[in-house]
A and B are shown apart, each in its own frame.
Chain A
C-alpha cells in the first residue's frame, strides 16, 4: 500500500510554563522552570511535595483560564485532562485554520488524543462517594468524564470531526504514539486531517502517592522545586510531575498544499518497540530504545548522521537517563559528536501521557526557529558523552531533522522523526 506524506499544520498546548505555544516556547528558551511546591492539597505526608502546574489566571500573560476553552457547565462533568485537551485542540485547529464545515471535510477529519492515567482523580473521589453515600449518588457523568478516549470524544463534538475517533494509552509514550498512529491513519488514507496528541492531569494526592511508591519521583528537592528536574545530572533523583496537553494538526501533504496551509514540518519517521523486560524499569542495555529510534529512522529513510536534534525522553530518573543516552550513543556511533540532545522535562516536568506531544511540538519549533531548548540544572553530568546536552541555556543551531523519544511503563517505546519540508 502506498503511504501518503503527512505534515504538521497546527500546534496547540497548555503546559506548566504557559497556556499557548508561543508563550510556552519563549519561556522554555529563556530557561524558566514550571516547578513549584504543591499548595492545592495536603502534601505533608507525601515524600514528593512539588510539581509543575499550569499557571492559572484570567488568560493574560500566558495564564490558563479554563472558562475560555470549555463551558463551565461541561467542565463540571469532566476531569481536568479533558479541559486541557479542549484548550490545546482549539489552539491547534485555529493555528491550522482548519474548521471543517462540509460533510465531506468533517468525515475526512479525525481525532486521536490519548492520556496516560486519565481521570484517576475523579475515580478516586467517586469511589469515596460510593462507599460513603451509596450507588444512587454516583453521577451519570462519572464514567464519560473519566474515560481516556473522551478527550477525543469532546474535541470531536466541539469541532465536528467525524473521521476516525480514536485514543491511545501507553503511559509516558502516549503523546508520541498518538501522533505517530494518527500520521499513519492519514498515510494509509483513513483520514486527510487528524487532531492528535496527549493530555494529562495527574497532580493529585493519589497519583503522587502512586508514582512515589514506584520510587519514580524526585524527593530531595522539596525546598528547591526549580532544581528538582535535572536530567543527566549526577544529583538527579526522580521526575517531577507535570500537567497539561499538547495537540497537533496533522494533514496529508497535498491537502495542506491545496488549501495554502502553513506547513511546520513533515512527519517522516515513526518507530515503536517494546522492552519485554520490567513493568517500570527500562531494559538495562537500552535495546528497546535503540530499536525504536532505529525503526523510526528506517521509516524515514535516513541515516543516524542526518539527525540534528534529539528531544530526549530524559525524565531525570537515576536509571532511565543514562540508559537512553547509551542507546542514542549506540545509534549515532561516530556521528555522536555532531548531535545536540536536550531534555525539556527539566523545565516542564514530566507530563506523562502529554509529554510526547508537547515534546514533538518543541522539536518542531526548534526546527522552525533554529533554536535548541536547554537542559536545565545539568551542573555535573553523571557520565561523559560526546553528545551536546545543552546545559542551562538555549543555543542556536540549524535543524533539518529532529527526533523525539518517549518511553513508558510497561516497556513501551515510541520515536517520532520530523523533517523540514523543502
Chain B
C-alpha cells in the first residue's frame, strides 16, 4: 500500500470513527462508511490539509470512495 493510501485511510478512520478494516479502496464514504454530506466536506478539507493541496469543489464531487481519494491525491499531491 502506498504511503498516500495509508495516510488517506488513517484520516478516514479518524474522521468517520469507523474500523480500519472497513476502509477498503472500494468503500463509499456515504453508503459504506456512514458519512453524511457534511462529513464528506470535512473529509475533503482534511485531505487538503494533510497533503497540502487544493481540491476544487467540482473535483471534490467526484471523490465518493476511498479509492477515488487515493487516486486523486496520487495524481495531484506533492
Contact = CB atoms under 8 A, between A and B. Distances in A.
Nearest to B41: A140
Interface stretch (B1-9, B22-30, B42-50, B62-70): B42-50
B48 A141 contact: no
Nearest to B34: A73
A71 interface: yes
Interface in A99-142: 136-137, 139-141
A73 B45 contact: no
A136 B16 CA distance: 20
A309 to B, nearest CB: 46
Interface size band for B: 10 to 19
Contacts of B45: 136-137, 139-140
Given A136-B48, A137-B49, A73 B17 contact: yes
Tell me whether chain A's interface is mostly helix, strand or loop, or mixed.
loop
B17 A72 contact: yes
Nearest to B48: A136
A138 B39 CA distance: 13
Interface in A44-75: 71-73
Contact of A139 (B17, B42, B48): B42
B41 A73 contact: no
Contacts of A140: 38, 41-42, 45
A41 to B, nearest CB: 24
A121 to B, nearest CB: 19
Contacts of B41: 140
A136 B45 CA distance: 8
A178 B70 CA distance: 48
Given A71-B17, A139-B42, 17 more contacts: A72-B17, A73-B15, A73-B16, A73-B17, A136-B45, A136-B48, A136-B54, A137-B45, A137-B49, A139-B45, A140-B38, A140-B41, A140-B42, A140-B45, A141-B38, A141-B42, A144-B38
Interface of B: 15-17, 38, 41-42, 45, 48-49, 54
19 contacts: A71-B17, A72-B17, A73-B15, A73-B16, A73-B17, A136-B45, A136-B48, A136-B54, A137-B45, A137-B49, A139-B42, A139-B45, A140-B38, A140-B41, A140-B42, A140-B45, A141-B38, A141-B42, A144-B38
